[in-house]
Structure 1
């Protein structure tokens, strides 16, 4: 009798997964789509082409992309340091990385606004040194999103670095490769997919971030107003159709960007021989 390749418990597990996706993901998204269908194409397009809406999209996605890129670079360095180098207080430093996960986003926003405001500890010094204001400007949004997104990169890259086979690095050195050549040719291609994953997670979190942003952004229309705040404003004005139209558009753009990032990750894995 031929053996089944389906592991025991596959059907109940699949059923539970589909039930979860239906109740938690598909039904809410379907409700968002159905609510948007109450608008005509002309009304929908009119909402999206509003100058204030366009400006908020530019702020949200621009800040999220910049913050995710910075978080990916810094997170890689931090993960490398935690894995490769012993130093005093390493466990405490490692625990602090997860602080943004546990800290309420509103508290994080208040703390960041207090530190980076023009009269704050850091903000005052930055203005005196460079003349650049961080808080209540789009730059403040980027700083807040870096703070929120950094742990995603570190915790994604760190396990991959821990599992990396040092024999590959030693083999490259034995063949005459310098440390930099070994890093570029051997280590980095194996770590790049995890770094891209961390970037995608940080970006996804940053696009929809609200609590940590509103206190440091200044929330000025056309300058530092993010899409989640604009949606909240629409809901407070009982403009449910406008809020759902903006939310649906944000969802579609986010999905397409994440699909592009995941496709890039798949291409990198395939090229590096990990698939």
Structure 2
């Protein structure tokens, strides 16, 4: 009598769950509809308002002395603020990532305070600190340095939060290897660390600049709103609304939007090229 070997039953494999790589046409439609309502329609409306008097009216509004002065002051102060925050924001991000000290988590949380604090409150605080009755005997209100301080306060987190995650991802073993081969701190920073940080630094600079040129609340009290001296573009726009010149207000607003768009586009292209170059060299 032979014994027949019975093969063990084959377990039926469970059907694999399909993972969708996109949200489908409905999701795309909802996203585009929301983008149109929130971004595109307001942009179209302000563009239409700016050209309400035709090209000549647009040009006259842009080249008016008050508009030119406000735009010049805004761009100049915003550039200074972006440069300052690129340096200080990168240093702060480095300290938060690479150093350990008491209260580090509270300092890390403090960086986001300008995001949560109403900007008018920031202006009031700065006025009380640097105003006529300054407790530290430093009176800066109604000066361009006051504008720099106010705008630096509200734009600092943009640089720190762009640089910080990149620093966390940088492999410290590469730095240690370079140091073991005799490279000093400057060579390590310039040849290894900074190329990896460059796209994030540029992105943070662009965001800080774009935020600064449109800022209103943080400078409304400390700035003084002196035409030709401390009046920024946002305050000039408010002034034109108050004197019933909506076309002039829309024109300057459109110019600010164009400046911000061009700056962000250029920095994005430069950042992408830098990243691509680093990938090819690695």
TM-score (norm 1): 0.90
Give the SS at the match of 1:134.
Answer: coil
CA distance in 2, matches of 1:274, 1:201: 27
The yes-or-no answer on 1:105 pairing with 2:111 is: no
Which of residues 11, 32, 36 in structure 2 aligns to 1:22? 36
Give the SS at the match of 1:30.
Answer: helix
CA distance in 1, matches of 2:86, 2:172: 23
The yes-or-no answer on 1:180 pairing with 2:161 is: no
Give 1:274 shift: 7.3
* Structure 1 residues 55-83: Cα deviation after superposition (integer angstroms, max 9, x where no partner): 00011111111101101110000010011
Alignment map for 1:1-275 (pairs within 5 Å): 7-122=21-136, 124-125=137-138, 134-273=140-279
CA distance in 2, matches of 1:54, 1:245: 12
Give 1:150 shift: 0.6
CA distance in 2, matches of 1:240, 1:8: 43
Give 1:49 shift: 1.0
TM-score (norm 2): 0.88
CA distance in 2, matches of 1:11, 1:78: 43
CA distance in 1, matches of 2:238, 2:166: 39
Which structure 2 segments of 5+ residues have no match?
1-18
* Structure 1 residues 113-160: Cα deviation after superposition (integer angstroms, max 9, x where no partner): 1111243134x24xxxxxxx5221111111101001111111111111
Moved over 6 A (4+): none
Which structure 1 segments of 5+ residues have no match?
126-132
Give 1:6 shift: 7.5
Give 1:174 shift: 3.0
CA distance in 2, matches of 1:18, 1:120: 50
CA RMSD across the alignment = 1.9
* Structure 1 residues 19-50: Cα deviation after superposition (integer angstroms, max 9, x where no partner): 12111000110111112232122222111111
CA distance in 2, matches of 1:195, 1:8: 31
CA distance in 2, matches of 1:181, 1:227: 42
Conserved? CA contact 2:141–2:223, under 8 Å: yes
CA distance in 2, matches of 1:170, 1:146: 34
Judging changes above 3 Å, is the alpha-carbon distance between structure 1 residues 225 and 186 closer, same or farther for their aligned structure 2 residues? same
Judging changes above 3 Å, is the alpha-carbon distance between structure 1 residues 10 and 65 closer, same or farther for their aligned structure 2 residues? farther
